[in-house]
Structure 1
Amino acid sequence: MAQANSAASERNVFFGVMKNVAQLFLGQAMAGVLGLLFTILMARSLTPSEFGQVTLLYAWPRLMATLGSGRSWQVILHYGAAPLENGEKSPVQRAISFALGLDFFTLILATLVAVTGVVFFSQTVGVSASLLGMGIVASLLTIPATCLNSSTTGILRLFGRMGLVAKQEPYTAIIRLLLGLLVWQFSGGIVGFALAIGIATMSGQLYVILAAFRILKENYFTFSPAFHLVRLSQEMPQGVWRLMFSANLGYCLNAAVNPAVFMIVGRFFGPAAVAFFGLAETFLRAIAKLGRLLEESYYPDLARLDIRSSKPWSLVGRIELIALGASVLTILITCFAGSFIFALLGNNYLEALPLMQWMSPSLLFLMLGLPLEGLLYCAGKSISILWVQVISALSMFVFIAVFMSTPSFLTFGLGLSYSLAAMVKFLFYLAGIGTIFSSKEKIVPLHERQR
Structure 2
Amino acid sequence: MDTASSSSPQPAGLFRAAARNLGWLLASRGVLAVLSLFYLAIATRALGVEGFGRFALITGASQTLATLVAFQTWQVIIQYGVGPLAAGDRGALGRLFRGSLILDLAGALLGGVLAWAILTIWGEALGIAPTLKRATLIFSIVQLLTVRSTPLGILRLRDRFALSALADSVTPVARFIGAIAVWLIHPTVQGFLVAWALAEVLTAAAYWIMVARSGDLDLMLKSRGARLLPAEHPGIIRFALSTNASATLGLSSKQLPLLLVGAIAGTAAAGVFRIASQIAQGLAKLSQLISRAAFPEVVRTLRDAPPEALSRLIRQLFLASAIAAVAIMLLVMVAGKPVLSIVGGRDFRHAWTMLLWLSLAGCLDLATTGVDTVLTAMRRAGRVFAIRLGGVGAMFGAAALLTPIYGATGVAMAVTVASAVAALLMSISALQLARTGA
TM-score (norm 1): 0.89
CA contact (8 A) 2:242 2:382 kept: yes
CA distance in 2, matches of 1:268, 1:181: 32
In structure 2, relative to structure 1, the CA distance for the partners of 1:153 and 1:224 (3 Å cut) is: farther
CA distance in 1, matches of 2:355, 2:170: 27
Q: Does 1:373 align with 2:369?
A: no
CA distance in 2, matches of 1:122, 1:390: 27
Alignment of 1:91-170 (within 5 A): 91-146=92-147, 149-170=148-169
Deviations 1:415-434 (A, max 9, x none): 22111101111211222233
CA contact (8 A) 1:69 1:103 kept: yes
- What residue identity is the alignment partner of 2:125? T
1:433 corresponds in structure 2 to: 430
Q: Does 1:325 align with 2:341?
A: no
2:299 corresponds in structure 1 to: 303
- What residue identity is the alignment partner of 2:275? L
Shift of 1:396: 0.8
In structure 2, relative to structure 1, the CA distance for the partners of 1:401 and 1:46 (3 Å cut) is: same
2:213 corresponds in structure 1 to: 214
Alignment of 1:239-388 (within 5 A): 239-306=235-302, 309=306, 310-311=308-309, 313-344=311-342, 345-388=344-387
Shift of 1:316: 4.3
1:446 corresponds in structure 2 to: none
1:416 corresponds in structure 2 to: 413
In structure 2, relative to structure 1, the CA distance for the partners of 1:206 and 1:65 (3 Å cut) is: farther
CA distance in 1, matches of 2:13, 2:72: 28
Deviations 1:272-305 (A, max 9, x none): 1111111111111124433222111111111112
Shift of 1:52: 0.5
Deviations 1:182-220 (A, max 9, x none): 1111242221112111211221122112222332449x8
CA contact (8 A) 1:100 1:225 kept: no
CA contact (8 A) 2:28 2:165 kept: yes
CA distance in 1, matches of 2:318, 2:426: 13
CA distance in 1, matches of 2:211, 2:315: 31
In structure 2, relative to structure 1, the CA distance for the partners of 1:209 and 1:115 (3 Å cut) is: farther
- What residue identity is the alignment partner of 2:289? L
Which of 175-184 and 312-321 deviates more? Answer: 312-321
- What residue identity is the alignment partner of 1:254? G
Shift of 1:103: 1.1
**SS in structure 1 at match of 2:123:** helix
CA distance in 2, matches of 1:10, 1:249: 29
Q: Does 1:234 align with 2:253?
A: no
In structure 2, relative to structure 1, the CA distance for the partners of 1:209 and 1:119 (3 Å cut) is: farther
- What residue identity is the alignment partner of 1:363? G
How many pairs does the alignment contain? 429
CA contact (8 A) 1:290 1:326 kept: no
CA contact (8 A) 1:64 1:111 kept: no
Alignment of 1:392-403 (within 5 A): 392-403=391-402
- What residue identity is the alignment partner of 2:331? I
In structure 2, relative to structure 1, the CA distance for the partners of 1:313 and 1:165 (3 Å cut) is: farther
CA distance in 1, matches of 2:311, 2:165: 26
Identity %: 21
CA distance in 2, matches of 1:216, 1:418: 43
Which of 46-55 and 79-88 deviates more? Answer: 79-88
CA contact (8 A) 2:299 2:377 kept: yes
CA distance in 2, matches of 1:83, 1:8: 17
**Gap runs ≥5 in structure 2:** 1-6
Shift of 1:313: 4.7
**Gap runs ≥5 in structure 1:** 1-5, 444-451
Shift of 1:79: 0.9
Which of 376-385 and 354-363 deviates more? Answer: 376-385
In structure 2, relative to structure 1, the CA distance for the partners of 1:175 and 1:49 (3 Å cut) is: same
CA contact (8 A) 2:257 2:415 kept: no
2:3 corresponds in structure 1 to: none
CA distance in 2, matches of 1:119, 1:312: 50
CA contact (8 A) 1:81 1:158 kept: yes
CA contact (8 A) 1:97 1:224 kept: no
1:3 corresponds in structure 2 to: none
In structure 2, relative to structure 1, the CA distance for the partners of 1:68 and 1:152 (3 Å cut) is: farther
In structure 2, relative to structure 1, the CA distance for the partners of 1:224 and 1:107 (3 Å cut) is: farther
CA distance in 2, matches of 1:352, 1:178: 26
1:35 corresponds in structure 2 to: 36
- What residue identity is the alignment partner of 1:234? P
Which of 183-192 and 29-38 deviates more? Answer: 183-192
CA contact (8 A) 2:261 2:411 kept: no
**SS in structure 2 at match of 1:350:** helix
2:191 corresponds in structure 1 to: 192
Cα RMSD of the aligned pairs, angstroms, is: 2.3
Shift of 1:244: 1.4
**SS in structure 2 at match of 1:77:** helix
Shift of 1:403: 0.4
2:4 corresponds in structure 1 to: none
Shift of 1:355: 0.6
Shift of 1:339: 1.3
